[in-house]
Amino acid sequence: MFGRVVVAGLALVATGVLSGASAQDQWTKMGSFDADLSRGSAVVDLERAKGSFKAFRVNVVEGEAKLINIQVRYLNGQAHNERRAINLLRNERSRAIDQRAAERFVDGATVCFETGQKGQAKFEIFGLQSRKGASAARPAVKTALTWPAAC
């Protein structure tokens, strides 16, 4: 009996039923930026991204980079720090970052690079959206928001 329960649980995970993404969710390009890796970090304004999002992903389009943190900042004042080593070669992407069932409006992101790197890299940021999230209207912000330092 226990074996059947384990197999059923693994089947649910494999089909994505227990993940935050559904069949209608899509990865949408939110923005792109060029970075000088020797500067240590890059701040990305994502206020113009339409709709709300469930998760994020960073792609390297040109160059390669070693990341040590990706901070995603939300309109509700929350921030998520993905503090881990992420080594990306050209045309590679990170795994999903801060994946949740509930969608949130994003304000921006800071990408922190490992020290000692040189050169340039071009990045793209993608967000996971449902159909409802893609059509969600961004609320007006009435107060200035501040977040902790990312790097």
pLDDT tens track for 85-140: 999 999 999 999 999 999 999 999 999 999 999 999 999 999 999 999 999 999 88
Residue 120's Cβ-side half-sphere holds a number of Cα atoms within 13 Å equal to 4
Whole-model pTM? 0.80
Alpha carbon separation from 142 to 8, 10, 68, 77, 145 (Å, rounded): 48, 45, 32, 12, 9
pLDDT of residue 119: 96
Q: Position 134: which residue type?
A: A
pLDDT of residue 73: 95
